[in-house]
Amino acid sequence: MRLYNTRTRSVEPFEPLRAGEVRIYVCGMTPSAQAHLGHARSFLFFDILRRYLSHRGFRVKYVQNVTDIDDRSINAARETGEHYHTIVDRYYAEFKASMRKLGVLDYDAEPYATQYIAPIQSMIRELLASDHAYAGRDGIYYRVATFANYGKLANRNIDELEAGARIEIDEHKEDPLDFALWKFAKPGEPRWPFEPYGEGRPGWHIECSAMARTLLDPVGHGFDIHGGGADLIFPHHENEIAQSEPLMARPPMANFWVHGGLLLFENRKMAKSVGNFEPLSDLLERHDPQAIRWLFLQTGYRKVMNFTEESIGAAAIGLARVKAAYRGLAPATDGESIAAPELDRRMEAALDDDMNTAAALAVLYDVLANSTPSREDLQYWLGILGVEPNDSWLEEPEAQITADLAAKIVAECNALGIDVDTAALAPETAIEKLVALRDEARRDRDWAASDRLRDALQRCGIELQDSKEGTSWSVAVSSRSI
């Protein structure tokens, strides 16, 4: 098995530091606001990585933290009059409900930063004693100049970082690159005693270092995988390394640093400030959670990905095909899986190649088209990908052209310049008209027009089947209607 390691900027063979055991720490939610689909993409990948490592025979300890104290939750509490943890609890409960819908496995440990104040303070004391930290007027800061490897994870040099650094108005530190380990309390803010330095709260970066050390590496010999989104590489993960490794007996902090790519929403970065944000919980009401998983599996985890209504519609069609094939497979004899060594070999080859889930889906499509695995064999590998069949998969779908679908068909016809009289023309007739035009384009070898018509139908959830006798069509069914 090979994984891309941000620390070395290369794909490397993966071997655990301890025989048979893999320890993973993933930076979790800061629930000061609603989760979005970008969060989901990152956590879904690490869920699949965890499942596959277990398939490979490793005992996996998976830790994903909760940053339950930060500036944003404090500011939200100040604006609303609520206790900051009431806000955190509400948003985190919503996030966890979304993760359950998406089929994410429970974590082995789910540490909250405010439950680890003692380990955080212990680590800060060690950094102060070794001169890697200093107490200022408004807090305790990490002294970046004392760590020679600062910037290596992000592949940035100190001069470059210093050029872009700035000191906030209320910060009092020796160097612009220094960062807060402990923030002395301001009036009305949550606080914990820290003798002899002063009441306050931890900085963001030290929280993860302390929780990872306590739960995965108390002896300071490092753990296997530290994960998160690519947006966390700098400064968060860079700062974790800087404050952790000087205190370790045997660095590095993590053997592999694994980062998921960013997600665009309709070709733009998701942000409330530009009106391009939909809460994850709302999105899961509109779309099949398994189709969302299927969509993410189609793109390499390190690549930037664009989520569109068209792409989720196409993913739902692909998943519907797999469900139809699943219904047609025979159960294994006596309830036991028939050995499928070729399927196992090909799926492992795909996932061993830096978790190439797109290649894994291609294997499944090919196997279903050209052979007949048992239902249990298919179910096993779908489970590794986190798209686990349930009883509804065995029910024949009853696809219908709903009012929404009819409106989509009319809109697509209008966009293509095809006149549709909505009062007189039934949706089925409009579909037939589009199919006939596509057939004509194919006969004329006008492939561009053929593709435009096919894509228009696909966006409406209409699945085409080409054969020597002609083209037939059907309505793809997502599990919303099963």
pLDDT single digits (tens) 218-236: 999 999 999 999 999 999 9
Pair 364, 381: CB distance under 8 Å? yes
Tokens of 182: 């402990």
Report pLDDT for 480. Answer: 36
Fill in the DSSP letter of residue 462: E
Q: What is the CATH number of domain 2-264?
A: 3.40.50.620
Count helices and strands (H / E) in the chain: 16, 15
In terms of DSSP bridges, do strands 139-142 and 133-135 run parallel, antiparallel, or are they unpaired?
antiparallel
Measured distance CA(238)–CA(2) in Å, rounded? 23
Pair 380, 388: CB distance under 8 Å? no
> How far, in Å, are 320, 347, 464 from residue 475 at the CA level?
10, 30, 9
Q: Which amino acid is at 419?
A: D
Ranges in the chain, pLDDT < 70: 163-171, 271-275, 333-339, 397-405, 420-426, 467-469, 476-482
Q: In degrees to the nearest 10, what's the CA dihedral of 150, 151, 152, 153? A: 110
Q: In degrees to the nearest 10, what's the CA dihedral of 401, 406, 408, 413? A: 120
> How far, in Å, are 112, 185, 314, 405 from residue 294 at the CA level?
31, 46, 10, 22
Map 461-479 to HEC letters.
CEEEEEECCEEEEEECCCH
Report pLDDT for 461. Answer: 76
pLDDT single digits (tens) 430-457: 778 788 888 888 888 888 888 888 888 8
Q: What are the structural domain ranges in the chain?
A: 2-264, 288-298+306-394, 403-481
Measured distance CA(355)–CA(115) in Å, rounded? 34
Pick the CATH number of 288-298+306-394 from 3.30.70, 1.20.120, 1.10.3470, 2.60.60: 1.20.120
Element (H, E) at 439: helix 427-443
Q: 160: which residues sit within 8 A by CB, 6+ positions away? A: 151
SS3 54: helix
* Burial readout 287-297 (b: 16 or more C-beta within 10 A, e: otherwise): bbbbbbbbbbb
Report pLDDT for 178. Answer: 95
